[in-house]
């Protein structure tokens, strides 16, 4: 409980800091024909959080909001989100994520670069892996992904994706599962894939919607032909609905599923848990070829800058063509937490969640924007 109280105190302190910084960084406008950007605003924030995967973590981040020269939307903003984080588990995470709208919001480019040094835990593969199998390993990751879509009528978007990841397993536990070399990826993996993205996006805001929906189907075909060390295909279904119950009371629902077929390393399989997909479970506590999560969240506004949210979810992982194990044992959790909106006129927020799973374990999560 002392750890929970300290995290909550830290969250409140950071929101006060961000509020004090806002007057210095917002509404910074640059009008220029050379760059072709206008109405640029920048948000600088310290980052401090706790999660089961990282222990306490500290760092800094910046989010830049802007519009390209050809824009006719007051709602959609291009952004660049950058962060650098170090944790007490000796993990280093550097991410840069530009998301840019072009040509009057008819085209959208979503890219992400990630560099990670990440000591982690592994319990094996499958929905019923035992706690006694827990082992340590260390891994370095360099990845780059890019998705480019074109806007079509009726909120439909279609495009293509490219994904590159290089995993270097630098240390494994002697005598453990990964040390046996029986797990694909235990000695590392280089993955190169291309895919297709099709979605219908009627959300009024990507960070914290007040209404609408998001329905996406995407694929990723990873092949040795492209330079990958493994060949496999993965398919993703992400269905979200946001119901405004009045006065900005929101019921948000999501069904997320992922299916992988072929010779995939453990790094590319579906991970159950984490700050977004299944709060309350350690990310990677359960790993397998297939996964689904069904979650619902009620968001209640409190004043002009605060929001309280409560969530519940269930799901599982499984394997083989028939999805063995997917419906044998539901992995459920629930939780709640506050949100603080960093801008008065933008729904960008800081989020704190405390989640608890059915086994009595849980996690504390602090991040930017809603989980879904």
- 85: domain CATH number is 2.40.160.50
Q: Is the pLDDT of residue 16 over 50?
A: no
Higher pLDDT, 43 or 192: 192
User: pLDDT over 70 for what percent of the chain?
Assistant: 87
Model confidence at 342, pLDDT cuts 50, 70, 90, reads: confident
- Which residue range forms the structural domain that includes residue 18? 2-368
**What pLDDT is attached to residue 3?**
53
pTM value > 0.75:
yes
The answer to whether 280 touches 358, Cβ cutoff 8 Å, is no
Token pair recorded at residue 338:
């506050």
Are 286 and 328 in contact, with CB atoms under 8 Å apart? no
pLDDT digits (tens, 9 = 90+) for 213-260: 999 999 999 999 999 999 999 999 999 999 999 999 999 999 999 999
pLDDT at 32: 30
pLDDT of residue 75: 60
The mean pLDDT of 181-188, rounded to a whole number, is 94
Give residue 265's pLDDT band: very low, low, confident or very high (50, 70, 90): very high
Distances (CA, A) of 358 to 4, 123, 234, 287, 322: 19, 18, 29, 18, 26
Asked whether the predicted pLDDT for residue 347 surpasses 50, the reply is: yes
pLDDT at 112 over 50: yes
Which residue's structure tokens are 């600088």? 44
- What's residue 18's pLDDT? 47
Predicted local confidence at residue 74, as pLDDT: 64
pLDDT digits (tens, 9 = 90+) for 28-75: 333 333 334 456 888 787 887 778 888 888 999 898 888 876 766 666
Specify the 3-state DSSP secondary structure of 359.
coil
Structurally, how many domains does the chain consist of? 1
Phi/psi of residue 316, nearest 5 degrees: -175, 175
Among 22-26, 95-99, 126-130, 186-190, where is mean pLDDT lowest? 22-26
As a three-state string, the secondary structure of 192-229 is: EEEEEEEEEECCCCCCCCCCEEEEEEEEEEECHHHCCC
Report the pLDDT averaged over residues 144-155. Answer: 96
Q: What is the pLDDT of residues 69-99, one digit of tens each?
A: 676 666 678 889 999 999 999 999 999 999 9
pLDDT in tens, 285-340: 999 999 999 999 999 999 889 999 999 999 999 987 776 778 888 999 999 999 99
């Amino acid at each position: 409980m002392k750890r929970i109280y300290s995290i909550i105190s830290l969250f409140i302190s950071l929101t006060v800091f961000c509020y004090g910084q806002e007057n210095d960084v917002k509404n910074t406008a640059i009008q220029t024909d050379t760059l072709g950007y206008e109405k640029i605003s920048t948000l600088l924030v310290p980052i401090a959080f706790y999660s089961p995967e990282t222990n306490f973590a500290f760092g800094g981040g910046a989010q830049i909001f802007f519009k390209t020269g050809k824009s006719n939307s007051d709602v959609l903003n291009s952004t660049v989100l950058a962060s650098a984080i170090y944790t007490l588990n000796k993990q280093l995470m550097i991410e840069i994520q530009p998301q840019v709208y072009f040509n009057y919001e008819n085209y959208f480019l979503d890219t992400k670069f990630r560099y990670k040094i990440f000591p982690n835990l592994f319990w094996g593969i499958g929905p019923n892996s035992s706690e006694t199998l827990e082992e340590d390993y260390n891994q370095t990751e360099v990845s780059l992904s890019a998705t480019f879509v074109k806007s079509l009528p009726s909120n439909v978007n279609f495009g293509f994706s490219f994904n590159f990841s290089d995993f270097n397993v630098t240390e494994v536990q002697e005598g453990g599962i990964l040390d046996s070399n029986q797990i694909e990826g235990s000695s590392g993996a280089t993955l190169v894939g291309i895919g297709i993205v099709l979605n219908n996006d009627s959300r009024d805001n990507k960070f914290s919607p007040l209404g609408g929906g998001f329905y996406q189907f995407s694929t990723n075909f990873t092949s040795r032909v492209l330079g990958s060390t493994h060949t496999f295909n993965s398919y993703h279904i992400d269905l979200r609905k946001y119901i405004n119950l009045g006065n900005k009371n929101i019921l948000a629902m999501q069904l997320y599923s992922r299916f992988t077929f072929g010779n995939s390393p453990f790094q590319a399989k579906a991970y159950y848990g984490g700050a977004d997909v299944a709060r309350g479970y350690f990310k990677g506590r359960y790993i397998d070829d297939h996964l689904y999560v069904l979650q619902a969240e009620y968001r209640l506004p409190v004043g002009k800058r605060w929001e309280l949210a409560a969530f519940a979810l269930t799901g599982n992982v499984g394997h083989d063509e028939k999805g063995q194990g997917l419906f044998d044992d539901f992995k459920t959790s629930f939780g709640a937490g506050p949100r603080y909106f960093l801008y008065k006129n933008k729904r960008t927020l800081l989020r704190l969640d405390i989640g608890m799973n059915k086994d009595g374990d849980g996690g504390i999560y602090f991040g930017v924007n809603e989980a879904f």
